[in-house]
Amino acid sequence: MPTTTSALKYALWQRFGDLAFPAEWDGHVYGGGKLSQRYWEYFITLELLALDQHSTVLDIGGGSPVEGVGFFADLLALQCKQVIVLDVNAQYGPNAAQRDNVVLKRQNGDYESVRRTLEDHPDITHVSCVSVFEHIEDATRRDIVRSLNDHFTGATFVMTLEYHARVKHWEHQLTAASLSELFAPLVNFYPDAFVRSPVYCENAYQKIGFWALFNIQRALAKRAPLAIPAWYPLAVRFVRA
Protein backbone atom coordinates (compact mmCIF):
# COMPACT_ATOMS: atom_id res chain seq x y z
CA MET A 1 0.00 0.00 0.00
CA PRO A 2 1.40 3.44 -0.87
CA THR A 3 1.96 5.76 2.06
CA THR A 4 0.68 9.33 2.21
CA THR A 5 4.22 10.55 1.61
CA SER A 6 4.74 8.36 -1.45
CA ALA A 7 1.35 9.38 -2.86
CA LEU A 8 2.26 13.05 -2.45
CA LYS A 9 5.68 12.52 -4.01
CA TYR A 10 4.03 10.89 -7.01
CA ALA A 11 1.60 13.80 -7.34
CA LEU A 12 4.53 16.24 -7.05
CA TRP A 13 6.32 14.47 -9.91
CA GLN A 14 3.19 14.52 -12.07
CA ARG A 15 2.27 18.14 -11.37
CA PHE A 16 5.60 19.96 -11.25
CA GLY A 17 6.17 21.72 -14.55
CA ASP A 18 2.60 21.17 -15.73
CA LEU A 19 1.06 24.51 -16.66
CA ALA A 20 -2.25 23.33 -15.21
CA PHE A 21 -0.57 23.43 -11.76
CA PRO A 22 1.56 26.57 -11.78
CA ALA A 23 4.43 26.65 -9.32
CA GLU A 24 7.19 29.14 -8.70
CA TRP A 25 10.47 27.96 -10.19
CA ASP A 26 8.76 25.12 -12.03
CA GLY A 27 10.83 25.54 -15.18
CA HIS A 28 8.46 27.97 -16.90
CA VAL A 29 9.69 30.90 -14.83
CA TYR A 30 13.37 31.56 -13.94
CA GLY A 31 14.63 28.16 -15.03
CA GLY A 32 14.73 25.03 -12.96
CA GLY A 33 12.29 22.23 -13.66
CA LYS A 34 12.08 18.71 -12.29
CA LEU A 35 14.90 17.66 -9.94
CA SER A 36 15.85 21.30 -9.48
CA GLN A 37 16.20 23.47 -6.38
CA ARG A 38 12.50 24.15 -5.80
CA TYR A 39 11.49 20.61 -6.68
CA TRP A 40 13.95 19.40 -4.02
CA GLU A 41 12.47 21.78 -1.44
CA TYR A 42 8.97 20.39 -1.96
CA PHE A 43 10.28 16.81 -2.11
CA ILE A 44 12.34 17.00 1.10
CA THR A 45 9.57 18.84 2.95
CA LEU A 46 7.15 16.01 2.13
CA GLU A 47 9.71 13.46 3.27
CA LEU A 48 10.50 15.22 6.55
CA LEU A 49 6.89 16.05 7.45
CA ALA A 50 5.92 12.33 7.33
CA LEU A 51 2.22 13.12 6.94
CA ASP A 52 -0.77 10.83 7.04
CA GLN A 53 -4.43 11.28 6.10
CA HIS A 54 -5.26 12.55 9.59
CA SER A 55 -2.71 15.39 9.38
CA THR A 56 -3.70 19.04 9.58
CA VAL A 57 -0.95 21.26 8.18
CA LEU A 58 -0.33 24.96 8.71
CA ASP A 59 1.54 26.18 5.62
CA ILE A 60 3.16 29.52 6.48
CA GLY A 61 3.75 31.68 3.41
CA GLY A 62 1.92 29.15 1.24
CA GLY A 63 -0.01 31.68 -0.82
CA SER A 64 0.82 32.89 -4.31
CA PRO A 65 0.63 36.46 -5.65
CA VAL A 66 -0.54 34.99 -8.98
CA GLU A 67 -2.75 32.01 -8.11
CA GLY A 68 -3.68 32.83 -4.51
CA VAL A 69 -3.36 29.27 -3.24
CA GLY A 70 0.22 28.12 -3.59
CA PHE A 71 1.32 24.97 -5.40
CA PHE A 72 2.48 23.18 -2.25
CA ALA A 73 -0.67 23.86 -0.22
CA ASP A 74 -2.85 22.57 -3.05
CA LEU A 75 -0.64 19.48 -3.29
CA LEU A 76 -0.91 18.74 0.45
CA ALA A 77 -4.69 19.02 0.26
CA LEU A 78 -4.80 15.93 -1.96
CA GLN A 79 -3.95 13.69 0.99
CA CYS A 80 -4.20 15.63 4.26
CA LYS A 81 -7.25 16.12 6.43
CA GLN A 82 -6.88 19.90 6.25
CA VAL A 83 -4.42 22.56 5.08
CA ILE A 84 -4.41 26.06 6.56
CA VAL A 85 -2.57 28.68 4.51
CA LEU A 86 -1.26 31.75 6.32
CA ASP A 87 -0.24 34.33 3.73
CA VAL A 88 -1.34 37.83 2.75
CA ASN A 89 -1.78 36.46 -0.80
CA ALA A 90 -3.97 33.55 0.30
CA GLN A 91 -7.07 33.83 -1.88
CA TYR A 92 -8.60 31.84 -4.70
CA GLY A 93 -7.54 33.16 -8.07
CA PRO A 94 -9.52 32.55 -11.27
CA ASN A 95 -7.59 29.38 -12.10
CA ALA A 96 -7.35 27.84 -8.62
CA ALA A 97 -9.54 24.90 -7.65
CA GLN A 98 -11.41 25.53 -4.40
CA ARG A 99 -11.07 22.67 -1.93
CA ASP A 100 -13.23 22.06 1.13
CA ASN A 101 -10.20 21.04 3.19
CA VAL A 102 -8.19 24.23 2.54
CA VAL A 103 -8.60 27.21 4.89
CA LEU A 104 -7.16 30.57 3.81
CA LYS A 105 -5.87 33.07 6.37
CA ARG A 106 -5.17 36.23 4.38
CA GLN A 107 -2.67 37.79 6.75
CA ASN A 108 1.05 38.44 6.95
CA GLY A 109 2.94 35.99 9.12
CA ASP A 110 4.06 37.44 12.45
CA TYR A 111 3.88 36.48 16.12
CA GLU A 112 0.21 37.35 16.60
CA SER A 113 -1.13 35.93 13.34
CA VAL A 114 0.65 32.62 13.97
CA ARG A 115 -0.60 32.57 17.57
CA ARG A 116 -4.20 33.27 16.54
CA THR A 117 -4.11 30.67 13.78
CA LEU A 118 -2.76 27.99 16.11
CA GLU A 119 -5.33 28.86 18.78
CA ASP A 120 -8.17 28.85 16.22
CA HIS A 121 -7.01 25.46 14.92
CA PRO A 122 -5.70 23.45 17.89
CA ASP A 123 -5.81 20.30 15.74
CA ILE A 124 -2.82 21.44 13.64
CA THR A 125 -0.35 18.55 13.68
CA HIS A 126 2.36 19.83 11.33
CA VAL A 127 3.79 23.15 10.14
CA SER A 128 5.53 23.74 6.82
CA CYS A 129 7.33 26.85 5.60
CA VAL A 130 8.92 26.46 2.16
CA SER A 131 11.38 29.08 0.90
CA VAL A 132 9.85 31.95 2.87
CA PHE A 133 12.37 33.09 5.48
CA GLU A 134 14.92 34.38 2.97
CA HIS A 135 12.32 36.89 1.75
CA ILE A 136 11.29 38.50 5.05
CA GLU A 137 13.15 40.67 7.53
CA ASP A 138 14.96 39.26 10.57
CA ALA A 139 12.52 40.57 13.18
CA THR A 140 9.46 39.08 11.44
CA ARG A 141 10.92 35.64 10.89
CA ARG A 142 12.19 35.53 14.50
CA ASP A 143 8.65 36.42 15.64
CA ILE A 144 7.24 33.51 13.62
CA VAL A 145 9.74 31.10 15.19
CA ARG A 146 9.01 32.42 18.70
CA SER A 147 5.27 32.03 18.16
CA LEU A 148 5.70 28.44 16.98
CA ASN A 149 7.82 27.72 20.04
CA ASP A 150 5.26 29.29 22.38
CA HIS A 151 1.98 28.12 20.83
CA PHE A 152 2.39 25.15 18.47
CA THR A 153 1.15 22.04 20.27
CA GLY A 154 1.89 19.58 17.45
CA ALA A 155 5.03 17.55 17.07
CA THR A 156 6.79 18.55 13.83
CA PHE A 157 7.54 21.53 11.67
CA VAL A 158 9.75 21.74 8.61
CA MET A 159 11.32 24.79 7.02
CA THR A 160 13.39 25.27 3.89
CA LEU A 161 15.44 28.37 3.20
CA GLU A 162 18.15 29.60 0.87
CA TYR A 163 21.54 29.76 2.54
CA HIS A 164 25.14 30.85 2.10
CA ALA A 165 27.53 30.50 5.01
CA ARG A 166 28.82 34.05 4.87
CA VAL A 167 27.73 36.04 1.81
CA LYS A 168 24.34 37.79 1.57
CA HIS A 169 23.40 37.96 -2.11
CA TRP A 170 20.27 39.96 -1.23
CA GLU A 171 19.00 41.74 1.84
CA HIS A 172 17.32 38.95 3.80
CA GLN A 173 19.31 35.90 2.73
CA LEU A 174 20.22 33.54 5.58
CA THR A 175 23.85 33.10 6.61
CA ALA A 176 25.49 31.10 9.40
CA ALA A 177 25.10 34.03 11.80
CA SER A 178 21.47 34.89 10.98
CA LEU A 179 20.44 31.21 10.89
CA SER A 180 21.77 30.78 14.42
CA GLU A 181 19.91 33.88 15.62
CA LEU A 182 16.70 32.80 13.88
CA PHE A 183 16.39 29.46 15.64
CA ALA A 184 17.87 30.45 19.00
CA PRO A 185 14.40 31.06 20.58
CA LEU A 186 13.43 27.40 20.13
CA VAL A 187 13.50 25.76 23.53
CA ASN A 188 10.44 23.52 23.22
CA PHE A 189 11.68 21.95 19.98
CA TYR A 190 15.00 20.75 18.61
CA PRO A 191 16.27 19.93 15.09
CA ASP A 192 16.42 16.24 14.31
CA ALA A 193 17.10 16.62 10.58
CA PHE A 194 19.34 19.21 8.93
CA VAL A 195 19.74 18.61 5.19
CA ARG A 196 21.50 20.40 2.35
CA SER A 197 20.16 20.35 -1.20
CA PRO A 198 22.23 18.40 -3.74
CA VAL A 199 21.74 21.27 -6.22
CA TYR A 200 22.55 24.96 -6.03
CA CYS A 201 19.86 27.59 -6.53
CA GLU A 202 19.14 28.11 -10.22
CA ASN A 203 19.38 31.88 -10.12
CA ALA A 204 22.96 31.59 -8.89
CA TYR A 205 23.70 30.77 -12.55
CA GLN A 206 21.35 33.25 -14.13
CA LYS A 207 23.65 36.04 -15.29
CA ILE A 208 26.78 34.19 -16.39
CA GLY A 209 27.35 30.90 -18.12
CA PHE A 210 27.80 27.71 -16.15
CA TRP A 211 31.41 27.08 -17.15
CA ALA A 212 32.43 30.68 -16.50
CA LEU A 213 30.89 30.44 -13.04
CA PHE A 214 32.50 27.05 -12.47
CA ASN A 215 35.94 28.48 -13.21
CA ILE A 216 35.30 31.45 -10.93
CA GLN A 217 34.21 29.12 -8.14
CA ARG A 218 37.25 26.92 -8.59
CA ALA A 219 39.60 29.92 -8.43
CA LEU A 220 37.84 31.41 -5.41
CA ALA A 221 37.73 28.10 -3.59
CA LYS A 222 41.53 27.99 -3.58
CA ARG A 223 41.77 31.47 -2.05
CA ALA A 224 38.60 31.92 0.02
CA PRO A 225 36.34 28.83 0.25
CA LEU A 226 33.42 30.73 1.78
CA ALA A 227 33.31 33.35 -0.96
CA ILE A 228 31.94 31.04 -3.67
CA PRO A 229 29.19 33.05 -5.43
CA ALA A 230 26.46 30.42 -5.28
CA TRP A 231 23.99 29.47 -2.60
CA TYR A 232 21.77 26.49 -1.90
CA PRO A 233 18.66 25.49 0.06
CA LEU A 234 18.66 23.92 3.49
CA ALA A 235 15.81 21.97 5.08
CA VAL A 236 15.43 21.67 8.84
CA ARG A 237 12.93 19.51 10.72
CA PHE A 238 12.13 20.45 14.31
CA VAL A 239 10.41 18.05 16.70
CA ARG A 240 9.02 18.58 20.16
CA ALA A 241 11.54 18.20 22.96
**Burial bucket for residue 120 (CB in 10 Å: 0-12, 13-18, 19+):** exposed
Q: How many CB atoms lie within 10 A of CB 196?
A: 12
pLDDT value, residue 158: 98
pLDDT value, residue 94: 64
Please state, in angstroms and rounded to a whole number, the distance separating the CA atoms of residues 226 and 22.
Answer: 35
pLDDT value, residue 169: 77
At 38, which helix (H) or strand (E)?
A: helix 37-49
Side chain identity at residue 206, one-letter code: Q
**Burial bucket for residue 204 (CB in 10 Å: 0-12, 13-18, 19+):** buried
Determine contact, residues 32/26, Cβ cutoff 8 Å. yes
Computed over every residue of the chain, the mean pLDDT equals 87
pLDDT value, residue 220: 54
Please state, in angstroms and rounded to a whole number, the distance separating the CA atoms of residues 11 and 185.
Answer: 35
Side chain identity at residue 9, one-letter code: K
pLDDT value, residue 208: 44
Domains of the chain, earliest start first: 4-240 (3.40.50.150)
Using one digit for the tens of pLDDT, what is the confidence trace for 113-144? 999 999 999 999 999 999 999 999 999 999 99
pLDDT value, residue 110: 96
Q: What is the pTM of this model?
A: 0.88
Q: How many CB atoms lie within 10 A of CB 14?
A: 10
Torsion of CA 228, 128, 236, 54, to 10 degrees: -150
Please state, in angstroms and rounded to a whole number, the distance separating the CA atoms of residues 225 and 167.
Answer: 11
Please state, in angstroms and rounded to a whole number, the distance separating the CA atoms of residues 89 and 174.
Answer: 23
Q: Which residues of the chain have pLDDT under 70?
A: 1, 29-31, 93-97, 202-229
Q: Which backbone phi and psi does 141 adopt, to 5 degrees?
A: -70, -30
At 4, which helix (H) or strand (E)?
A: helix 4-15
